[in-house]
């Protein structure tokens, strides 16, 4: 039985990971769970899955849980997340949101724990240090994102055969066909209405701006060791083909399936095995009857261009882009800025940024703080 640490167990990925564990009680044990503020949800998870330890953000929540569950180890804050990630287990599923996921990923790798990675920001901001550490420690970083899981699956059995391109699919989000001038009027409710996937608020907004896909290009670079010019985005509105790999002889291998995150989560937890499950299966005569592919509109969705430019610039530019984006998405969700203010402000931030190279973990985290302060200052807001 595999012991699984789930960082972010009450979020979208975390709850779906628990679906996988619930479906396979003889194969998995949720040894550590964590959440920030959804304590009622966490208590229900504790009662059902009986973890050895939990981690919460606030001391008052930790005290309450310690009193209610005297045999349960309770950790708190960012330090607690690092302790949880480095605890004895078979694999750490990092489903945290934002830059908070970077340090726990590093801690997991440093402790020689395998990582099932659903936290994009880990590789966007710290890809160089994470993958270097993983190589040094002999640790696997297994992708959970459906697109990267698909690429990972398409590469199985490739051996020494060289790839020509990674074909990264994108749904296009809810505004693929909306005229550019109308994007300024987009409401929060409209942006949160993703046509295919059920995700958390932050990643759903990133999907609407297509920053999510820009970040996934960066992730693919680090996960699979390919140059940026070998990664191509294809808009595929049906979300049935999760991504493809083209080999140098022109053969294209694709991974298809229903838009259900439980499948890639399960594959990361069981790799290299595949196991039976109760999740919906693809029907080619209905779900896959028509599959289309288009080029993304990089003029309308500036975030795609900004992400590529940051990745090519390297150094702390990706961390700067990520930090600024996190702030702007939150401001939009709070109704303080408009939808197109996200990409327009990101462009302003990156136009004046000078990349700094060779940063360690602390340097990257400090870059994130600077990017947040700078972005807020553009709207006259202090931290």
Query: Residue 157's pLDDT is what?
Result: 86
Flag whether 125 is in a domain.
yes
Tens digit of each residue's pLDDT (9 = 90 or more) over 103-145:
999 999 999 999 999 999 999 999 999 999 999 999 999 999 9
Q: How many domains does the chain have?
A: 1
Q: Enumerate residues 6+ apart whose C-beta is below 8 A from 236.
A: 169, 170, 171, 172, 291, 292, 293, 294
pTM of the predicted protein model: 0.94
Q: How far is CA 347 from CA 51, 311, 338, 352, in A?
A: 44, 14, 15, 9
User: What's residue 199's pLDDT?
Assistant: 73
Q: Are 119 and 96 in contact (CB under 8 A)?
A: yes
* Regions of the chain short of the pLDDT cut 70: 196-198, 383
Residues 6+ apart with CB under 8 A from 271: 142
Residue 9 lies in a domain: yes
Predicted local confidence at residue 259, as pLDDT: 92
Question: Does residue 210 sit within a domain?
Answer: no
What CATH number does residue 67 fall under? 3.40.50.720
Does residue 163 sit within a domain? no
- pLDDT at residue 381, as a whole number: 85
Q: What pLDDT, on a 0 to 100 scale, did the predictor assign at position 200?
A: 80
The CA-atom distances, in angstroms, between 372 and each of 193, 302, 303, 343, 353 are 27, 20, 17, 15, 13
Q: In what order do the strands lie in the sheet with 163-170?
A: 231-235, 163-170, 241-247, 252-256
Domain of 53 in residue numbering reads as 2-143
- pLDDT in the model for residue 160: 85
- Does residue 104 form part of some domain? yes
Dihedral (CA of 135, 136, 138, 141) sign: negative
Which token pair is 339?
């939808």
Q: Is residue 231 part of a domain?
A: no
What is the model's pLDDT at position 383?
60
State residue 193's pLDDT score: 86
pLDDT of residue 287: 82
Residue 221 lies inside a defined structural domain of this protein:
no
Q: Does residue 176 form part of some domain?
A: no
Structure tokens given for 77: 């804050």
**Structure tokens that stand for 61 in this block:** 């929540």
Reduce the secondary structure of 290-322 to three states and give it as a string.
Answer: CCCCECCCCCCCHHHHHHHHHHHHCCCHHHHHH
């Amino acid at each position: 039985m595999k012991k699984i640490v789930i960082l972010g167990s009450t979020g979208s990925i975390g709850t779906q990971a628990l679906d996988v564990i619930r479906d396979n009680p003889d194969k998995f044990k949720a040894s550590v769970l964590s959440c920030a503020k959804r304590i009622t949800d966490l208590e229900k998870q504790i009662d059902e899955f009986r973890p050895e330890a939990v981690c919460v953000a606030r001391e008052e929540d930790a005290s309450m849980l310690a009193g209610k569950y005297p045999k349960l180890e309770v950790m708190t804050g960012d330090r607690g997340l690092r302790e949880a990630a480095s605890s004895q287990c078979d694999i750490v599923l990092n489903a945290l949101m934002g830059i908070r996921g970077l340090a726990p990923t590093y801690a997991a790798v440093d402790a020689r724990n395998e990582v099932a990675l659903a936290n994009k920001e880990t590789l966007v901001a710290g890809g160089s240090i994470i993958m270097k550490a993983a190589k040094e420690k002999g640790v696997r970083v297994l992708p959970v994102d459906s697109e990267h899981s698909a690429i990972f699956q398409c590469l199985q059995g490739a051996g020494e055969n060289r790839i020509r391109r990674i074909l990264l699919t994108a749904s296009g989000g809810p505004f693929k066909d909306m005229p550019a001038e109308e994007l300024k009027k987009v409401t929060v409710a409209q942006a949160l209405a993703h046509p295919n996937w059920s995700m958390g608020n932050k990643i759903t907004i990133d999907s609407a701006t297509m920053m999510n896909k820009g970040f996934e290009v960066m992730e693919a670079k680090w996960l699979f060791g390919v140059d940026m010019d070998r990664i191509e985005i294809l808009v595929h509105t049906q979300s049935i083909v999760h991504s493809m790999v083209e080999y140098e002889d022109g053969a294209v291998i694709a991974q298809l399936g229903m838009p259900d995150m439980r499948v890639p989560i399960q594959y990361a937890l069981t790799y290299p095995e595949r196991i039976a499950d109760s999740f919906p299966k693809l029907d080619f005569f209905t779900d896959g009857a028509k599959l289309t592919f288009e080029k993304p509109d990089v003029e309308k969705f500036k975030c795609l261009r900004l992400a590529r430019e940051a990745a090519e610039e390297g150094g702390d530019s990706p961390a700067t882009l990520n930090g600024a984006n996190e702030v702007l998405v939150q401001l939009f969700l709070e109704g303080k800025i408009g939808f197109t203010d996200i990409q327009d402000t990101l462009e302003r931030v990156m136009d004046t940024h000078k990349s700094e190279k060779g940063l360690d973990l602390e340097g990257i985290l400090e870059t994130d703080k600077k990017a947040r302060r700078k972005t807020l200052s553009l709207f006259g807001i202090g931290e």
